[in-house]
């Protein structure tokens, strides 16, 4: 890789890997023997060809790295848990205009996909690195074009309950646009549909647990349900991008329909997928007005869908939040 062709000086760092010998040795092998950075850096550079704009960090502890960069402390610490999934990387804009692109190192040492030998493992690690790097670069690209979620999430005209979904849904709109881009240029090894059954089971179990404890701890039960439902909307966004549309222009379905599909998605799936597919891939610009229009519809859908699966979460006209669990079983 010729770093000299870009503007500015490339900044690379590796941290929080010494606590795990396997992680340390595996990452060292990938970097020094298999040129892992040569897989990562060009994917970021492809979207933002200016090294002065970003700093790359590979870390064995994403939460610790984010907490240090943003000065977070106990009570406001960062977590990689997203309900049914976990964060593999994050892009952090700084006040000086530079972005910290933080990638979790564990996924490279133990990459997804089938591999029976070192060659197969390295191949999957490379593909995963390229995909994850391009995804995080997509967040930077949207921010630099003023198209990221912070630019349009407050432009909707929604009643309070639907508006309460705006921050969550807008973030996953960004992810959907970026994933549409990466699937064209750096498709991932893993498939979200393979874990869909587990994601549905997680949502079901979390709502069941909340239903059984709300009388003792309403705030805790609501928080638990909020995380689970929000995490599942993330699953829907990624799954919509992965499955795409069929030849007839209708939403494609998973190869294997998991148990409880009808209970939690069913007739709602085409509504979610069609609406997400009104968004263009990250490399194709959209106006704030276009993004806000899709966000408005998705927030309405999120509110109706949450109620349909048995979790009534809303905000009254005077700003009070409420939560009800309306099903006997989940």
Q: What is the pLDDT of residues 227-254, one digit of tens each?
A: 999 999 999 999 999 999 999 999 999 9
pLDDT, tens digit (0-9, with 9 covering 90-100), for 117-172: 899 999 999 999 999 999 999 999 999 999 999 999 999 889 999 999 999 999 99
pTM of the model: 0.92
In this structure, are residues 126 and 34 in contact, taking their beta carbons and an 8 Å threshold?
yes
- pLDDT, position 82: 57
Is 70 exceeded by the pLDDT of residue 222?
yes
- pLDDT, position 319: 84
Which residues, 6+ apart, have CB-to-CB distance to 109 below 8 Å? 22, 23, 26, 27, 30, 125
Regarding beta strands 54-59 and 99-104, do their DSSP bridges make them parallel or antiparallel, or are they unpaired?
Answer: parallel
Is 3-144 assigned to CATH 1.10.10?
Answer: no
Q: Quote the percentage of the chain above a pLDDT of 70.
A: 95
- pLDDT, position 1: 38
In this structure, are residues 42 and 36 in contact, taking their beta carbons and an 8 Å threshold?
no
**Lowest-pLDDT range, 1-10, 91-100, 208-217, 264-273?**
1-10
3-state DSSP call for residue 324?
strand
Is 90 exceeded by the pLDDT of residue 73?
no
Confidence of residue 20 (pLDDT cuts 50, 70, 90): very high
CA distance 301 to 215: 28
Query: Which value, to the nearest 10 degrees, does the dihedral of the CA atoms of residues 13, 16, 18, 24 take?
Result: -60
Nearest in space to 149 (alpha carbons), one of 282, 43, 242: 282
- pLDDT, position 84: 54
User: For the residues 33-54, what does the mean pLDDT come to?
Assistant: 96
In this structure, are residues 182 and 134 in contact, taking their beta carbons and an 8 Å threshold?
yes
Please report, for the chain, the start and end positions of each structural domain, with discontinuous segments joined by +: 3-144, 159-325
């Amino acid at each position: 890789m010729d770093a000299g062709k870009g503007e500015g000086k490339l900044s690379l760092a590796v941290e929080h890997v010494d606590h795990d010998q396997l992680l340390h040795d595996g990452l060292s092998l990938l970097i020094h023997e298999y040129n892992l950075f040569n897989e990562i850096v060009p994917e970021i550079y492809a979207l933002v060809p200016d090294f002065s704009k970003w700093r790359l960090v590979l870390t064995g502890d994403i939460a610790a790295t984010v907490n240090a960069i943003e000065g977070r402390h106990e009570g406001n610490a960062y977590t990689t848990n997203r309900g049914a999934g976990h964060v593999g990387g994050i892009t952090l804009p700084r006040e000086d205009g530079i972005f910290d692109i933080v990638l979790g190192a564990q996924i490279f040492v133990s990459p997804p996909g089938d591999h029976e030998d070192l060659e197969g493992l390295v191949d999957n690690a490379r593909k995963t690195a390229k995909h994850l790097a391009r995804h995080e670069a997509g967040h930077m690209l949207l921010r630099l074009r003023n198209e990221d979620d912070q630019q349009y999430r407050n432009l909707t005209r929604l009643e309070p309950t639907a508006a309460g979904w705006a921050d969550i849904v807008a973030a996953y709109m960004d992810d959907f646009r970026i994933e549409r881009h990466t699937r064209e240029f750096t498709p991932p090894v893993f498939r979200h549909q393979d874990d869909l059954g587990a994601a549905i089971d997680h949502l079901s179990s979390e709502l069941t647990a909340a239903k059984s404890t709300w009388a003792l701890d309403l705030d805790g039960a609501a928080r638990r349900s909020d995380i689970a439902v929000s995490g599942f909307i993330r699953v829907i966004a990624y799954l919509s991008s992965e499955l795409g549309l069929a030849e007839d222009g209708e939403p494609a379905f998973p190869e294997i329909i998991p148990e409880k599909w009808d209970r939690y998605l069913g007739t709602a799936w085409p509504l979610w997928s069609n609406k997400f597919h009104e968004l263009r891939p990250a490399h194709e610009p959209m106006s704030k007005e276009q993004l806000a229009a899709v966000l408005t519809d998705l927030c309405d859908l999120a509110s109706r869908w949450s109620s349909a699966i048995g979790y009534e979460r809303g905000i009254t006209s005077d700003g009070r939040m409420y939560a009800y669990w309306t099903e006997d079983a989940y």
